[in-house]
Structure 1
Amino acid sequence: MLLQIVCSFPLFCFSDMKEPRIAAEIAKQLQKFHQVDIPGSKEPQLWNDVFKFLKKASVLKFEDNEKQKRYEMISFREIQDEVKELKDLSDLLHAPVVFAHNDLLSGNLMLNDLEEKLYFIDFEYGSYSYRGFDIANHFNEYAGFECDYNLYPDKDVQYHFFRNYLSDRPSEVQEQDLDALYTETNTFRLASHLYWALWALIQARVSPIDFDYLGYFFLRYGEYKKQREFCFSLAQGFLSSLRSG
């Protein structure tokens, strides 16, 4: 019986998440998850956490000289300016606040083949946050453990996910609703990179795990800068079209 139970919950591979049938199921389950009502404050925690991480990350000291030299290459004034500008831009989108998983990577998905049901696990980072952040954070995890962000889903793959997220009748979702969620998600795509980049800096100092967290900071912040122009332009163009419409 134990073997049967274990086998009915196979480990997810990050590449499984983009398979259309599974992506559709993840989208449907995420929509249901976002309807959960958790007692307490409904205030989104994202930017509070980011500013908290930034404050802690900016005053670190490393005993290892090489780590300290790499750390001193970081401009925290630049990061603070980026955080403030991104927050101001994302606020204009008025993204819905939901109870978010905030860490929906492949390892936190389990499929029960016997019941043909998908389950989310590990709610350590769960909190009220922005819908677009939770979705974008999931899309960023398409990069897998090799952190190949070229695997971030293209527009067609995202729209497949959005249709299944937005309605039980995916084919009836309006194009304007897809465009709005696409803009929202890809604006918060940048927030996901900033969040985990700053988180990684703190882990580089305090975590006992043998992992190059400092390198991970540079990877995520580098991807933020790489995608910044596209994501900012997308959001600004969308907002401009709303004003002119």
Structure 2
Amino acid sequence: AQLAVPYHGRFANGRLEQWLEGYRALEVHEMGQSMYSQPIFSRMARLHQFQLPVSLSSSSSSSTQPSMWSQLDSWMEQAQSISHYTTPGDDDRAARLLNLPNICEEIYWLKHDVVPEKAKVAFCHNDLLAGNIMVQTTTTSSLSETDENGMVQLIDFEYGGVNYAAFD
């Protein structure tokens, strides 16, 4: 079974991928069930072993560096640029709940003190929610046989890229 379904194109707010007949999106409450988690683990292990073709990975270090830090930095810049919210009550609530200086300090701490220097970096999905995991609805074989039979399929790779394997 392939790592991703064929991609057909992109439009303003989404992607068009091959239709998976006989599949459904995994439900959140099913993610911890071993009949699903074991096949998902197998799929993720295969994904994290994937080597980007040379034509897709440039010589710049940005193509081999984990994307998590630049994404967090971008989100922090966006959060800090908001001068006011839709309603005055939202301003007060945001000030109470979002201690942005503290969040910045925590990101720095994670980057410099928590994540090991040699943490495994791999090609990652980066958006592995239950809705991005499709499972076959047919019951002709057990899901424990999953990967070889393609009974679990990952979709929506638009955020896919180099990151810490543990991120997924």
TM-score, with structure 2 as normaliser: 0.69
- Among 71, 81, 85, the residue aligned to 1:49: 71
Is 1:94 aligned to residue 128 of structure 2? Answer: no
Does structure 1 retain, via aligned residues, the 8 Å contact 2:134–2:155? yes
Task: Give the superposition deviation at 1:62.
Answer: 1.4
Match of 2:40 in 1: 26
Task: Give the superposition deviation at 1:37.
Answer: 2.4
Match of 2:92 in 1: 69
In the alignment, structure 2 segments of 5+ residues that lack a partner are 1-19, 58-62, 139-148
Aligned counterparts of 2:104 and 2:30: Cα–Cα separation in 1: 36
Match of 1:117 in 2: 151
The structure with the greater share of residues assigned to helix is: 1
Match of 2:107 in 1: 83
In the alignment, structure 1 segments of 5+ residues that lack a partner are 135-245
Aligned counterparts of 2:151 and 2:93: Cα–Cα separation in 1: 45
Paired amino acid for 1:22:
Y
Q: 1:10 to 1:63 in 2, by over 3 A?
A: closer
Does structure 1 retain, via aligned residues, the 8 Å contact 2:127–2:159? yes
Helix, strand or coil for the counterpart of 1:70? helix
Which has the higher mean CA deviation after the structures are superposed, 123-132 or 107-116? Answer: 107-116
The Cα offsets for residues 197-229 of structure 1, whole Å up to 9 and x where unpaired, read as xxxxxxxxxxxxxxxxxxxxxxxxxxxxxxxxx
Task: Give the superposition deviation at 1:54.
Answer: 0.7
Aligned counterparts of 1:21 and 1:89: Cα–Cα separation in 2: 36
The structure with the greater share of residues assigned to strand is: 2
Alignment of 1:1-245 (within 5 A): 6=21, 8-38=22-52, 39-40=56-57, 41-60=63-82, 61-73=84-96, 74-92=98-116, 94-114=118-138, 115=149, 117-134=151-168
TM-score, with structure 1 as normaliser: 0.49
Query: What is the root-mean-square deviation of aligned Cα atoms in Å?
Result: 1.8
Does structure 1 retain, via aligned residues, the 8 Å contact 2:25–2:132? no
The structure showing larger relative contact order (alpha-carbon pairs under 8 Å, at least 6 residues apart) is 2
| Alignment coverage as a number of residue pairs | 129
Paired amino acid for 1:81:
E
The Cα offsets for residues 172-221 of structure 1, whole Å up to 9 and x where unpaired, read as xxxxxxxxxxxxxxxxxxxxxxxxxxxxxxxxxxxxxxxxxxxxxxxxxx
Helix, strand or coil for the counterpart of 1:123? coil
Percent identical among aligned pairs is: 26
